[in-house]
Structure 1
Amino acid sequence: MSLKSNVDPVELTAALVRCPSVTPADAGALDILHELLSDAGFACAWADRGGIRNLFARWGSQGNTRSFGFNGHTDVVPIGDEAAWTMPPFRAEIKDGIMYGRGTTDMKSGVAAFAAAAIDYVQNTPPDGSVVITITGDEEGESIDGTLALLEYMEQNNERMDVCLVGEPTCPNTMGEMIKIGRRGSMTVKFRVIGKQGHSAYPHRANNPLPAMMRLMDRLASRELDAGTKHFDPSTLAVVTVDTGNPATNVIPAECSAAVNIRFNDEHSGASLSAWIKEEVEAIRTGFGVQVETHVKISGESFITPPGDLSAMVSRAVQEVTGVTPELSTTGGTSDARFMKSHCPVVEFGLVGQSMHQVDEHVSVEHIVQLKEVYTRILQDYFA
């Protein structure tokens, strides 16, 4: 693929969508970007780890006084039932100004837009500073060997970003309406309650784990974690599964399992919530005489990039291009911004995300063009 100056972000989005890069497969998507960025004068390197491909690219000299960074991913979620799609999921067909395909929204269009903006900007107006691009193939998966591997590569090779923009889709309904300046933390806790199996007609000879599990789930789900904070909505806890695997109605099972997912704001940490859950588990264990095993996975801590120069700069660019004044928000799930925030100040701005992960995922061609223009204006403002 030979795209040079004046890179068409729509054409580049289509080329990336045609790579069936269902996580953790790459399917050639990062090779397209590697060639494109290398041809434009970016110093490119692979930061692969654990079988995951990750691309680092820098325009400008290492150690420049100013460095603006973009971050994104090219891996996508599975397509589900292909028969349910009315448009082929990996053909990037355009109909009535809409491009269809897995990854069109989340987030190959975002990657295409910032790659195109960066290439055109550095070739047309070489800045006094560096532009850094990091793209992973492990955002939709375990996220262990993706952006974390890129950050490790940067630390080992004395590379840096002074600020970073993640190109995830951030707008709920209208292009330009929302910038993410933080994210809630996320953790999942799995429970296994072990009692004693027995006949349901003789419950005194058994120790039913189900009442213990139901009491535990009720105690966890009934607690109001907080009322929200200055920049965050209230934290939430959802019971996502309860399983016994018991088809018999005359048998008290020996054990059962369950899981909860917690999305938490800056009033909590993974450690403080883990400590609370440990107390609740201990109360159930002693009260019901059962064994309780727990497994905690903290996907990310909550974080906030306080409103300031970075968010103001992005807001100006969004308003100039779209005519919409964006809201600064911390809503939604997790993204790789949770890793970038440990390196430098980070915000997120991208397309309307209504169709992401859905059948017939799609994006407005006009919005892709607008997004490239937003990113271009941000670079112009940053290096002015």
Structure 2
Amino acid sequence: MTLDPVQLTADLIRCPSVTPVEGGALVLLERVLSAAGFACTRVDRNGTPNLFARWGAKGAKTFGFNGHTDVVPVGDAAAWTQEPFSGAVIEGVLWGRGATDMKSGVAAFVAAAVDFVTTTPPEGAIILTITGDEEGPGKDGALALLDWMKAEGEAMSVCLVGEPTCPETLGDMMKIGRRGSMTFYLEVEGVQGHSAYPHRAKNPLHALVELLGRMTAEPLDRGTEHFEPSTLQITTIDCGNPANNVIPAKARATVNIRFNDAHSSAKIEDWARGLIAEIEAETGTRVSLCTEVSGESFLTPPGDFVELVSRAVVSETGVVPVLSTSGGTSDARFVKDHCPVLEFGLVGKTMHQVDERIEVAQITRLKAIYARCLRDFFA
């Protein structure tokens, strides 16, 4: 009797695990994995639920899977065709929040791992790290698991993250890296005054506009071998001023940067502070900068692990995956400090949308891909 990944996905969807609520999802997985001989440990931190599961001896050659069971809010529940946590299967399509991102991916690798150790126990180990904080701040999810693993002497040789990676067809893309992500929170302090007498004031908006203009005047780079050009986007400008005849005292802006492996977050911050110093000297305003880094860029270069996963995808789908570093961030940005990491999963067209759904045939095929990865890794 094999473990059905479609049924497991549906059961997980019925657990309303909106970040950071566990919702019963990790309890369900712990029960399934423990029954298959996995040693399971809850590694909760600061109210964030996480699950570590290992089959096989510590210290052995180890294949790791990583995923998350937390989901984003449903939005307007009345706008859904099916109830958001129904896990309904209708005409070959599974509906519900998390159907794509990424309870299906977790169910597929859990089912593949359970079947593999049950029918063909490998000479080695399998580790599953499943978090409840990927859609949230991310500080107490994968990081908590990796901190615990380091303290306990647990290690993965390689890790495959089951995030949805394919744009159009199952198999058409896998992620071998990700851009870094950082945000600048800027505040410019000037001198408030009457708009008819600007010589008696120092307009922080003028200084801010000039600063933002210099930040966006030239691209950060032209791209690298495996990465598209870095991007810098102004996401908000505000001064909270309701009057049309008052020069405000302060102005604020937020800038989000997605950067490739030509940069580090520290290098980009140094560049920004150089521009800030110029603006302060020219305008007499004061500029404060607060920086938040979500993750550095990383790359798992093409090699044995990339080829192993690519072969499995081609064997099960007939599609050759594009090796990509596009998209946002994932927990791979933390795992890359532990071991080589790749991402491969379903077609992600409906993730985070109303009426999130996925074809059940994709889930079954994804399990087959993960199972082949395990067979080839331990062969």
TM-score, shorter chain, exceeding 0.5: yes
Match of 1:20 among 16, 21, 33: 16
Match of 2:287 in 1: 292
**Structure 2 residue corresponding to 1:43, chosen from 18, 36, 39:** 39
Identify which of 215, 218, 227 aligns with 1:220.
215
How big is each residue's C-alpha offset from its partner over 1:46-105, in whole Å with a ceiling of 9 and x where there is no partner? 1111111110000011122x1000000011111122222222111112222111111111
Paired residue for 1:67? 62
Structure-1 residue corresponding to 2:257: 262
Residues 125-160 of structure 1: per-residue CA shift (max 9 Å, x gap): 000000000000011111000101100111111111
Match of 2:50 in 1: 54
Whole-Å Cα distance in 2 between the matches of residues 100 and 209 of structure 1? 50
Deviations 1:13-54 (A, max 9, x none): 011111111111111110000111011000001111111111
Superposition pairs of residues 1-384 of structure 1, within 5 angstroms: 5-64=1-60, 66-384=61-379
Task: Tell me how far 1:288 sits from its aligned partner.
Answer: 1.0
* Equivalent position SS for 1:144: coil
Stretches of structure 2 that go unaligned for 5 or more consecutive residues are: none
Deviates more, 1:200-209 or 1:366-375: 200-209
Between the aligned partners of 2:77 and 2:287, the Cα distance in structure 1 is 41
- Rounded Cα–Cα distance in structure 2 between residues aligned with 1:358 and 1:257: 31
% same residue: 60
Could you tell me how far apart the structure 2 residues matched to 1:78 and 1:194 are?
37
Query: What is the DSSP-based 3-state SS (H/G/I as helix, E as strand, rest coil) of the residue aligned with 1:22?
Result: coil
SS of the equivalent of 1:307 reads coil
CA-to-partner distance for each residue in 1:292-327, whole Å, 9 max, x for gaps? Answer: 111101111111100011111111111111111111
Structure 2 residue identity aligned to 1:156: A
Counting matched residue pairs gives: 379
Question: 1:201 offset after TM fit, Å?
Answer: 1.8
Mean Cα deviation higher: 312-321 or 200-209: 200-209
**How far apart in 2 are the matches of 1:103 and 1:352?**
13
Q: Secondary structure at the match of 1:44?
A: strand
SS across alignment from 2:199 = helix
Matches of 1:171 and 1:382, distance apart in 2: 23
Q: Alignment partner of 2:270: what SS? A: helix
Distance 1:208 1:225 in 2: 28
SS at match of 1:7: coil
Structure 1 moving runs of 4+ over 6 Å: none
Which consecutive unaligned segments of at least 5 residues does structure 1 have? none
TM-score, normalised with respect to structure 1: 0.97
Q: Which amino acid aligns with 1:26?
A: E
| Counterpart residue type for residue 151 of structure 2 | Q
Q: 1:105-138, CA deviations, whole angstroms, 9 ceiling, x for partnerless residues?
A: 1100000000000000000000000000000001
Distance 1:359 1:211 in 2: 41
Normalised to the residue count of structure 2, the TM-score between the two structures is 0.98
* Whole-angstrom distance in 1 between the partners of 2:15 and 2:142: 20
Instruction: Determine helix, strand or coil for the equivalent of 1:145.
Output: coil
Task: For residue 220 of structure 1, report the CA deviation from its aligned partner.
Answer: 0.8
Q: Deviations over 1:232-265 (max 9, x none)?
A: 1111101111111112112111111101111111
3-state DSSP of counterpart to 1:106: coil
